[in-house]
Amino acid sequence: MSGYSHLTVYYFSGTGNAKNVALWLSESAKKANVSVDVIAIADVNRRSITPPVEGSLVAFVSPVHGFNYPPVMLHFIAHFPKGRYSVLLLNTRAGMLLGRFITPGVSGISLYLSALILKLKGHRIQALFPVDLPSNWISLHPGLNPKTVDYIYTHIQPRVIEFAQTALAGKSDFKSVRECVVDLLVAPIAVLYYVAGRFMIAKTFYASRDCNKCGLCVRNCPVQAIRMVDNRPYWKFSCESCMRCMNSCPKRAIETAHGMFVVLAVAFSFLLSAVIYQQNNMAFVAHNSVLQFLFETVLFLSLVAIWYRLFHFLLRYRWFERLVVYTSLTKFKFWNRYKGWHQ
């Protein structure tokens, strides 16, 4: 017996995990004779969001990026209308397999921050539910093999369906709050990722000469963060690092420039220690940690912006392109791309 007559699911998904969770919620609702709307937030005008059906149970589903919801989801939640809806907050996280044990990801502040924003808008938080599906962060590690992905999916799907049934019946679920110590310990990293890390990661992507300029990555990016510059994909700072483009390029041409980023990081620390902080009038920055952080972040991101332009230009020269490609770990065969269910 359901406690609600309608369910509205808002989701953001890079590589399909969160989308699958949204669809499982929707299927569970239909089985319980609850009408349902499933809405991809990347397709919605976030400045004028149509409120869900009156009395609807509302679910938000999104991956965790840097121990927080990605900016696009936070932006959506920040613009979500005020009201008195009952809300489910779900995040998909980086599940891995250790023997037969699915190790959980880390939610960080994703669920708490969103719960706080929605609570301040008048809504009632009914559940905070993390879902451990395979990690898709393939800039950092090779994609999990298909057998592991299948194992994780097979074990996690029933948990989500069980959660959906109890949530639709009106029950709360706050078991995830048991992880709050770890979540709060990583909170400073979530802030660093939000103000600096994500911009840097956005500029690690490039297309190798295997790119045939099909334009699929440009068309499929959920936040329009790729444009063609000089007939080659160019990543903007607005990239959410959702990994969709890298995982779905038909030519496997999208890489992460690991080697080039190490060179840039070393050059930056040299510039700071051997040039900038040697100036007498910079002592006041070096002695104030907040000022130092702000100064170094702005300087680094400005450098990245200039460097990326130059990098993109130099990629047209074969020797440079080959140097970059062979210092990108993602180039090597063992570095799988990620494929979730139904992708």
Ligand X SMILES: Cc1cc2nc3c(=O)[nH]c(=O)nc-3n(C[C@H](O)[C@H](O)[C@H](O)COP(=O)(O)O)c2cc1C
Tokens 């250790």, residue located: 98
Cα–Cα distance measured from residue 245 to residue 69, given in angstroms and rounded to the nearest whole number: 19
Least Cβ distance, residue 222 to ligand SF4 (angstroms) = 6
Listed ranges 61-69, 120-128, 144-152, 266-274: which one lies at the site for ligand X (CB under 6 A):
61-69
DSSP 78-123: HHSPPS--EEEEEEEEEEEEETTEEE----TTHHHHHHHHHHHTT-
DSSP 193-262: IIIIIHHHHHTTEEE-TT-----HHHHH-TT--EEEETTEEEE-TT-----HHHHH-TT--EEE-HHHHH
Question: What residue type is assigned to position 105 of the chain?
Answer: G
Q: Which of 14, 52, 63, 66 binds ligand SF4 (CB under 6 A)?
A: 14
Q: x/- binding map, residues 197-226, to ligand SF4, per CB under 6 A? A: ----------x---xxxxxxx---x-x-xx
The item of ligand SF4, ligand X, none sharing an interface with residue 214, based on CB under 5 to 8 Å by kind, is ligand SF4
Write the DSSP symbol of residue 5. S
Counting residues that bind ligand X (by CB under 6 A) gives: 27
Least Cβ distance, residue 88 to ligand X (angstroms) = 16
Cα–Cα distance measured from residue 30 to residue 9, given in angstroms and rounded to the nearest whole number: 13
DSSP three-state, residue 63: strand
- Residue with Cβ nearer ligand X (34 or 225): 225
Q: x/- binding map, residues 155-194, to ligand SF4, per CB under 6 A? A: ----------------------------------------
31 binds ligand SF4 (CB under 6 A): no
Cα–Cα distance measured from residue 22 to residue 7, given in angstroms and rounded to the nearest whole number: 11
**Cβ within 8 Å of residue 279, ≥6 positions away:** none
18 binds ligand X (CB under 6 A): yes
Least Cβ distance, residue 89 to ligand X (angstroms) = 14
Q: Which of 245, 264, 272, 325 binds ligand SF4 (CB under 6 A)?
A: 245
Residue least distant from ligand X (Cβ): 105
243 binds ligand SF4 (CB under 6 A): yes
Residues of this chain, 301-330, that bind ligand SF4 according to CB under 6 A: none
Q: Are 25 and 56 in contact (CB under 8 A)?
A: no
The site for ligand SF4 (CB under 6 A) is made up of: 14, 207, 211-217, 221, 223, 225-226, 233, 235, 239-245, 249, 251, 253-254
The site for ligand X (CB under 6 A) is made up of: 13-19, 63-67, 92-94, 105-106, 108, 133, 135-137, 201, 241-243, 340
